[in-house]
Structure 1
Amino acid sequence: MPYQAFLEALSAPRSGVYKRVFRTMTPEETGGAVLWAQSMSMALQSLMLTFEVTLRNRIHISLSRQATEGTTNPVDSFAWYDHRLGMHKLEGETYRKVERILCDEQDVRLPTQPTPDRVIARLSFGVWPNILEQQLPTPVVQARTFLDVFPHYPRKPKHYWKHAENRKIAVDKVKDVKGWRNRIAHCKPVWTEGWYRCSQAQHWTEVLDRVKGRRSEMLEVLGWMCPQTVEVYKMSYSGRLFDALVTEQAVLAHICQPHVPAIGPIYPEADIEAMKAYKAR
């Protein structure tokens, strides 16, 4: 297999990281380490995407309800971000990101405004921890929003989210997910940046422990928002793939034999009549 060319296509500095961390001896072994990490990134990305969408939707619903509760028709989707409607004015980069969606290139408001759902979908992950940390105007709004977003916190959530130090812990956890998601999206290794330099052992088995711990924290916060979503993810292919990959045996298997044609997603052949019925829907 052309593993040397594969590694050169990735660049020597990038592939060299895997050679150093996984202590590989040949291009084939290094290629196996890279492929293991790519599979791990794939397994994590679906969870990170689910986390981001769940978070933004819960924030959007909470702030929409709070903005319309005094009306005759409270709704789950409202332009709570638009100060021209009498809402609290956002600040900083979050304000500018919203305005770029609402305005044309000359910073003039579009004659037909995008729906709130479209605006929310176009905002980046970084907006949401900023909303939670800096854009909620009063302690009452802060406590209410955190309770709406994280209603399944296990210990008296209504009381817990009244305290600023508790809200900060949650925001820091969300920021960590955002940072990890951005790292993987930019094709960087799944482990924490700077880990290798700070580690005394500098051994690849630490990667497994760190990745498992970090993913557990992400699942914990997702469970505060929607425990059923955690349950679905764990049973999904991505969830099961993660469990299979985050083992010493999986790493060694990739190192020893990176490419095994018979290994991979295998699905049973569907019942012919069931397939016909499904295609005919």
Structure 2
Amino acid sequence: MHHLLPADLAQTLADISTARLSSYQNFFSPANDEELYGLYCWNDAVSSRYMRLIGILEVILRNRLHTALSGYAWNHHTSNGSQDSNDWYMKLYRPFTGNSTGDRTLKKKIGKPATPTAPNKVIASMTYGFWPHVLDKTLDNNGIVVPWDTLIPAILPGHHQRAATYWGVQAHQDALFARLLLVGDLRNRVAHFEPLWKFGEELSETRDRAHAPRTVVNPAPTTIPDSLQRLQLYYQRTTQLLHWLSKGRAADYSESENHQTLRWLMSEDALLSFRSLPGHGEIRLSSLTKGWGLKGELRERKFVVVTDKKKAVGRYYREPS
């Protein structure tokens, strides 16, 4: 969470580029280059922490889908592999028409017929954007209806709805699709170094249908509190999806340092701390062991850098109330 000023601030901002910094300039109206750089560092800190959460979620999501669809293919097709891991995608996507991202990507990943790539390797190589659209497959290659009503409860064992009658409703599948797309959008922003705090209109958690298009729930944020509130809302939805996929992993994550740090980073206190660089408190490491003035400094400051021989060796922050 390092965000001290660089040795050459002007050159650093030039390296980042005016175009990339323009959204920070327009939304936050920083008073000077120091504040502008601090805001950029704040987004970088939030994004890197958020990516850790999405990484945990993405691995579980693809493994849940892979296991559930492998079981389906094992029971309804001749599959290469085992009941828990086989080439189910050959039963849902072949022949490769080239009309979808899934078709094009899988065609590249599965290898040549004589030496096909192992299913686990194919699954591990698929990007996040592939997985939400697996739900688009309503019929397999034999014309059999893909039973998402029974597959989804196996994919989401932590979801409060377990009944096939619930997941057989298209609107409920659409809501899941929208949640998966939301996380994918956040993932893409982080991957492309885009502002994670910058949001457009909040749309209903459903899917665009000719008879029922998505509706606007909230307008695009225009203030810092609005932007932080939206960021916190989407974080809540991301962690909820993790809970649906795995209660155990979600419970572990809720106790993790990453979660605790992100809760602070998504607060106005954190944003102001980064923005006011280098206006943080500083305590020497030796003071921690001796307790000299420690309580007062931590009580007054929301962010403190711990130093040893003039080098930062640790950081302290107060969690938001």
Task: Provide the TM-score with structure 2 as the length reference.
Answer: 0.72
Aligned-residue Cα RMSD (Å) equals 2.6
Alpha-carbon separation, structure 1, partners of 2:110 and 2:261: 41
- The count of corresponding residues between Structure 1 and Structure 2 is 256
Q: 1:135 and 1:3, CA in 2 relative to 1: closer, same or farther beyond 3 A?
A: farther
Bigger helix share: 1
1:223-262 alignment runs, 5 A limit? 223-258=243-278, 262=305
Is 1:52 aligned to 2:67, yes or no? no
Give the C-alpha shift of residue 112 in structure 1: 2.1
Q: Which residue is 1:276 aligned to? A: none
Q: Which residue is 2:179 aligned to? A: 173
Q: Which residue is 1:275 aligned to? A: none
Is 1:123 aligned to 2:126, yes or no? yes
Q: Which residue is 1:278 aligned to? A: none
Is 1:81 aligned to 2:101, yes or no? no
> Higher RCO, 1 or 2 (CA under 8 Å, sep at least 6)?
1
Match of 1:95 among 93, 98, 103: 103
Bigger strand share: 2
Match of 1:64 among 55, 63, 70: 70
Match of 1:160 among 159, 163, 166: 166
Task: Provide the TM-score with structure 1 as the length reference.
Answer: 0.82
| Structure 1, gaps ≥5 residues long | 104-108, 268-281
1:16-35 alignment runs, 5 A limit? 16-35=22-41
Contact 1:151 1:157 (C-alpha < 8 Å) held by counterparts: no
Query: Partner amino acid for 1:113?
Result: P
Query: Partner amino acid for 2:90?
Result: D
Give the C-alpha shift of residue 189 in structure 1: 0.2
Contact 1:35 1:258 (C-alpha < 8 Å) held by counterparts: no
1:70-102 CA-to-partner distances (Å, cap 9, x unmatched) read 68x96211111124xxx6636632122111122
Give the C-alpha shift of residue 166 in structure 1: 0.4
Alpha-carbon separation, structure 2, partners of 1:10 and 1:88: 42
1:22-58 CA-to-partner distances (Å, cap 9, x unmatched) read 2211100111101111000011001111121111110
Alpha-carbon separation, structure 2, partners of 1:111 and 1:203: 58
Contact 2:48 2:190 (C-alpha < 8 Å) held by counterparts: no
Q: Which range is displaced more, 37-46 or 239-248?
A: 239-248
Alpha-carbon separation, structure 2, partners of 1:102 and 1:66: 19
1:155-179 CA-to-partner distances (Å, cap 9, x unmatched) read 3443321211101110111011111
Q: Which range is displaced more, 35-44 or 4-13?
A: 4-13
Give the C-alpha shift of residue 66 in structure 1: 1.3
3-state DSSP of counterpart to 1:126: helix
Query: Partner amino acid for 2:69?
Result: L
Alpha-carbon separation, structure 1, partners of 2:59 and 2:103: 20
Contact 2:43 2:197 (C-alpha < 8 Å) held by counterparts: no
